[in-house]
Structure 1
Amino acid sequence: MYLGFRRSRWKGFGWLLALGTALSLLVFAVVGCGAEKASQETTPGGERIAVYTIADSTGDWGLPSPYAHYSRGPGYVRMSFIFDTLVWKDDKGYVPALAESWEYLEDENAYLFNLRKNVTWHDGEKFTARDVVFTFNYTKEHPYQWVDPSIVEKAEAVDDYTVKVYLSKPYAPFMDNVACTLPILPEHVWKDVQNPEQFQEEKALIGTGPFKLVDYNKAQGTYLYEAYDDYYLGKPKVEQLKFVKVSEEMAASALKQKQVNAASIPPELVDEMKKEGFTILEGTHDWNAKLMINHKKPPLNDKRFRQALAYAIDRKQIVSTCLRGHGLAGSPGILPPDSPWFNPETEQYPYNPTKAQEILESLGYVKKNGYYQKDGRVLELELLVAGGTSSPGEREGEMIKQQLEKVGIKVNLRSLESKTLDSMVNEWKFDLAISGHGGLGGDPEILSKVIIGQGFNSARYTENEVLVNLLKQQQQEMNKEERKKLIGEIQKVYAEEVPALTLYYPTWYWAHDGKVELFYTWQGIASGVPIPLNKLAFVK
């Protein structure tokens, strides 16, 4: 019998509401009485941690099942504790997961995976090649949000523990974007599921990963996992893993009082936390804040106008003010300057308000009463930002408003809840919007996803045929040096078009108590998530 949930409180979708009171008490117990609990975190012999608590200011990321978690990185990470992929990554490179070895068969344009023989699903059923083949077939019919189903032509079981995956065409980023990203599903659970996005029963949480979900509270944004002791890499070193919502401002205090074990902290607290004896992790610049531009509506559909916006925005000042210098100014070619794929010849649009005004005037705009006008109408744009303490958010919005109005473009700020903002961008109901995403430290195939992909954090820009063709070519170029040339050219063409503008790459910091050796994953978790919560840290 599957015991991953407490059945008395979890019945279909209703458990989301039923747990409100219980988890509210749980959060109080964790954050209010943490000092007492911290003394009980390890067993008498110190071999295993009883409870490990992670503070997270963002809260809810959906039910951590493959088709139910929210599409951003934190949602994937929460799901990854329960579900495994064929291959995974540690801090140095690719490592075996459900597949103990693999090879690329160039003549067949296929990957051969040799699977582990000692793996069981959380309900005790054996994992076999049938599950892998089923997953590839199922995701062709029901696409998983993180993997393009057209990449794989077919998957075949050579025997019970060997699978051959045939690609529809050469695909350079297969390891990162498919093998390390696609969660493998149990055939015996999912074979009759016709609407995976609506499948939120207990069985939807049966995986092969190191943890099982015990409690989830949508309203509180809390998650409670327990170790799966039959995990194929051995018993997890943590018996229970918790995510609790704690504001970034309170995270350092919660750490000091031993209420939580790990948290993201503001840059200005790094030195203080070091002196307190906490381990500090400094992230790479794999995440970017960017200005989304509705290039489908005038005047934003004219690239010259978008170039004027780029000259009018002082990205270095935004880094200095909003990030207190802890980050890098954005490159209009998307990839950060410290990326091995960065092209230094990419146009950077250095801050030049005079140049911005010259472009606007060449487009027929005339300045009157402080703002540009054309055909009797004031040049006015609405800028959507995430409200509250979100970053990026209102601070960046205020700065961009000031900078654009200095040039002569009237800007109206509108603060929204972040998910509402994403939805409006997705539906093209905006002029400008400040958003962001990670993945820039992974395979440069991220460029395809955020330029011509159909996600809400993509520019969804297909108007330049040269750019689209370059993106397709780089996918199929298996020679790394030749591919790097294509990636460099993509950055140049994209920067000229400016369908969206990268504002900055923040330097993020995490502090933890050292009970678990957290680390940043090589090229990011899955296809590039820059969060130092790799499940291997809680196992090995």
Structure 2
Amino acid sequence: MDVDRRTFLLTGLGVAGAVVLGACTDNAEDGSSAGEESSPATGDGSEPVQRPTLRLGAISGDWGLPSPFTHQALPGYLRMSLLYDTLLWADSTGELLPWLAKSFERSTDGLTYTFQLRDGVEWHDGKPFTADDVAFTFGYYANLQLPFTVVGQPQNVAEVKASGDTTVEVRLERPAVTFPVLVAGAVPIVPRHIWESVRDPLAVADPKLLVGTGAYLLDSYSSADGTYKFSANDDYFLGRPFVQGIEFPPVGDELTALQAGDIDAGQTPNNGVRDDVLAPLRADDSLGVIEDKAGFAYPLYFNAANGGPLADVRFRQAFAHAVDRNDIVERLVGGNGAPGSPGFVPPDHPFFSDPEQYPYDIDEANRLLDDAGFTRDDGGTRIGPDGPLQFGLLFQAEASALVDLLVPALAEVGVELRPEATDGPAGLFSRKFSRQYDIILLFFPGPVGPGPGGDPDYLRLIFATSPMPTFFTPDGFASPEFDQLAAEQLVATDPDKRAELIGQMQDLIAEQVVVLPLYYADQFFAFRTEVFDQWYYTPTDFPSAAAYNKQAFITGTMTGTAIRPTT
């Protein structure tokens, strides 16, 4: 495992002692940082340029009022994050930058983080931002029952105390190397003087409450068509934001809208694209295209909790051998992806351990089914103790091409799949959560992230028995050994030790095959270079959605906190 291939600061920041973020000196208070390099796409960045306004698709639609408590899923978090700030924030390197906090210190036992906050930060209404607001935010969240689709909710926080105006102490329930990114870098801080009197933020949809410290202000929002318009907060504590306006108009297919000139940037569908779709984008000199390897996964879940053949590991292993995952990648996305790994983590991930892959092998699939006692009838269908091996296969309509490959593949070994399409993700995930399925094809990440490229602690959140069940929790899988490994990796500050533990977690998952990722789809993002060219996929894969990271909008660069000069 090459854990150095991508910066995973959530492990690297696990050491005790003081941490000055983003290699920034104290002059980061005025928006400059030490040792920062300009992106090649913008030359040396010294010549002032005109401030752009961006029109974005960003999964068009209504994602809720952009408050920390009413936004929906990652697209809603993206819009909300323009108004509100976190203690830390990641840039294109994955490095955590000083945001509302300029530094922090971690205790030797890993349970306490002490943050030093920036001086002189103000809320949009001009009132001062203080440590008391941070302590209030965590306490306020702790007393709420929010839907899981609200991104950025604090986890594993026992207590937060303010000391003076600029010092905050966060005490965790248990050590977690993921805390800097998944909590300090994701929880939006809200003002006490606005929310203290609001008992139920879910019941209040008043834009007047949207007072943050963020780089942008909400000009308008329409729930009817999902239109959002933001303008720059020129009094922002880092300086005047590079991008002066951000609009989210209602659009259909984002690439079509981009080519028609209706938006300035758009992304490919989650299930991936072939090169013939990308060719006109790459041939257009006015457009740039960036890529995110294995940005989306399509895992198949077996409901082992129902017993019968689905609970027999030999059946699940045979299923894996019967599916040619390399052929799936070639047929569906023309190679713009990777075959699914039974260990869930994609092959290009720095923590990938190459667990058992169950290569395409019809003979081995038949042998396993024979050994399990599933004999064939005269028509070739295999028979189990309760009758023919016939299973419902639930999927979202957009995955129909993938299902069309699965059905004949399993028929070849005597297993009948009966496809059932849902109209949208809501119905799909509802059936999964209520266990009303035999086999179900999901897409990962779902509404709240992080995705396949994120911190591999997602294995704990999905497969361990201790967290609350999620839409991605496999039904019928429980392993004390896995739970122990998951707990150990969460506190492992040594990257090599953590990689070893996560590798063992992948081996256990792959051995049981309660989930079979079929393929990972590469994601592509196209943009009009004359409008804005500093796009990137954030290595931490959370909470920034797709290629939309507000750090680039604010600074006009891909790294650091220094803002590119504008006219």
| TM-score range for the pair, normalised by the shorter chain length | 0.7 to 0.9
Q: Is the 8 A contact 2:311 2:476 kept in 1?
A: no
Go from structure 1 to structure 2 and tell me whether the alpha carbon gap of 1:307 and 1:327 turns closer, same or farther (over 3 Å shift).
same
- 1:467 CA drift (Å): 0.8
SS at 1:407 equivalent: coil
Q: Distance in 2 between matches of 1:282 and 1:378?
A: 44
State the AA in 1 paired with 2:77. Y
State the AA in 2 paired with 1:524. T
Pair 1:189-2:194 in alignment: yes
Q: Could you tell me which of 448, 460, 468 is aligned with 2:460?
A: 448
Q: Could you tell me which of 266, 269, 283 is aligned with 1:275?
A: 283
- Residue aligning to 1:415: 421
Q: Distance in 1 between matches of 2:229 and 2:153?
A: 31
Q: Is the 8 A contact 1:451 1:460 kept in 2?
A: no
State the AA in 2 paired with 1:469. Q
- Residue aligning to 1:84: 85
Pair 1:48-2:51 in alignment: yes
SS at 2:281 equivalent: helix
Pair 1:307-2:308 in alignment: no
Q: Distance in 2 between matches of 1:114 and 1:531?
A: 30
- 1:217 CA drift (Å): 3.6
More deviation in 154-163 or 191-200? 191-200
- 1:533 CA drift (Å): 0.5
Q: Distance in 1 between matches of 2:391 and 2:304?
A: 13
Q: Could you tell me which of 485, 490, 502 is aligned with 2:505?
A: 490
Q: Distance in 1 between matches of 2:361 and 2:110?
A: 53
- Residue aligning to 2:266: 263
SS at 1:487 equivalent: helix
- Residue aligning to 1:23: none
More deviation in 407-416 or 327-336? 407-416
Q: Is the 8 A contact 1:347 1:496 kept in 2?
A: yes
Q: Distance in 2 between matches of 1:460 and 1:121?
A: 45
* 1:316-365 CA distance string (max 9 Å, x none): 11111111211011111111111111102x01111123322222232332
Go from structure 1 to structure 2 and tell me whether the alpha carbon gap of 1:429 and 1:62 turns closer, same or farther (over 3 Å shift).
farther
Q: Distance in 2 between matches of 1:156 and 1:147?
A: 19
- 1:179 CA drift (Å): 1.1
Looking at both structures, which has the greater relative contact order when contacts are Cα pairs under 8 Å and sequence separation is at least 6?
Answer: 2
Q: Could you tell me which of 319, 331, 339 is aligned with 2:341?
A: 331
Q: Could you tell me which of 498, 508, 512 is aligned with 2:527?
A: 512
More deviation in 114-123 or 135-144? 135-144
- 1:376 CA drift (Å): 6.0
- 1:479 CA drift (Å): 1.9
Q: Distance in 1 between matches of 2:187 and 2:383?
A: 50
Query: Percent identity over the alignment?
Result: 33
Q: Could you tell me which of 201, 204, 224 is aligned with 2:206?
A: 201
- Residue aligning to 1:175: 180
Q: Is the 8 A contact 2:342 2:517 kept in 1?
A: yes
SS at 1:118 equivalent: coil
Pair 1:523-2:535 in alignment: no
State the AA in 1 paired with 2:249. V
More deviation in 467-476 or 309-318? 309-318
Go from structure 1 to structure 2 and tell me whether the alpha carbon gap of 1:451 and 1:108 turns closer, same or farther (over 3 Å shift).
closer
Q: Distance in 2 between matches of 1:219 and 1:352?
A: 51
Equivalent positions of 1:16-415 (< 5 A) are 47-49=50-52, 51-57=53-59, 59-71=61-73, 73-92=74-93, 93-106=95-108, 109-142=111-144, 145=148, 146=151, 149=154, 151-248=156-253, 251-265=254-268, 266=273, 267-277=275-285, 278-299=287-308, 300-344=310-354, 346-368=355-377, 369-375=379-385, 377-387=387-397, 390=398, 393-415=399-421
State the AA in 2 paired with 1:53. R
- 1:226 CA drift (Å): 2.5
Q: Distance in 2 between matches of 1:177 and 1:376?
A: 45
- 1:406 CA drift (Å): 2.3
- 1:109 CA drift (Å): 3.0
State the AA in 2 paired with 1:224. K
Q: Is the 8 A contact 2:226 2:250 kept in 1?
A: yes
RMSD: 2.4
SS at 1:355 equivalent: helix
State the AA in 1 paired with 2:302. I
Q: Distance in 1 between matches of 2:426 and 2:541?
A: 22
Go from structure 1 to structure 2 and tell me whether the alpha carbon gap of 1:376 and 1:271 turns closer, same or farther (over 3 Å shift).
closer
Q: Distance in 2 between matches of 1:108 and 1:306?
A: 40
Q: Is the 8 A contact 1:171 1:476 kept in 2?
A: yes
Go from structure 1 to structure 2 and tell me whether the alpha carbon gap of 1:462 and 1:363 turns closer, same or farther (over 3 Å shift).
closer
Go from structure 1 to structure 2 and tell me whether the alpha carbon gap of 1:397 and 1:65 turns closer, same or farther (over 3 Å shift).
farther
- Residue aligning to 2:28: none
Go from structure 1 to structure 2 and tell me whether the alpha carbon gap of 1:512 and 1:372 turns closer, same or farther (over 3 Å shift).
same
Q: Is the 8 A contact 1:56 1:245 kept in 2?
A: no
Go from structure 1 to structure 2 and tell me whether the alpha carbon gap of 1:214 and 1:177 turns closer, same or farther (over 3 Å shift).
same
- 1:288 CA drift (Å): 1.5
In the comparison of the two structures, how many residue pairs are matched?
A: 486
- 1:148 CA drift (Å): 7.2
Pair 1:431-2:438 in alignment: yes
Q: Is the 8 A contact 1:170 1:477 kept in 2?
A: no
* 1:377-427 CA distance string (max 9 Å, x none): 22211112212xx3xx11112222222222222112111111211121112
* 1:272-325 CA distance string (max 9 Å, x none): 223211111111324322112222112323322222222222211111111121
- 1:56 CA drift (Å): 4.2
More deviation in 166-175 or 482-491? 166-175
- Residue aligning to 1:459: 474
Q: Is the 8 A contact 2:152 2:188 kept in 1?
A: no
Q: Distance in 1 between matches of 2:69 and 2:109?
A: 34
Q: Distance in 2 between matches of 1:516 and 1:458?
A: 39
Go from structure 1 to structure 2 and tell me whether the alpha carbon gap of 1:511 and 1:63 turns closer, same or farther (over 3 Å shift).
same
Q: Is the 8 A contact 1:132 1:184 kept in 2?
A: yes
- 1:460 CA drift (Å): 6.0
Q: Distance in 2 between matches of 1:151 and 1:75?
A: 23
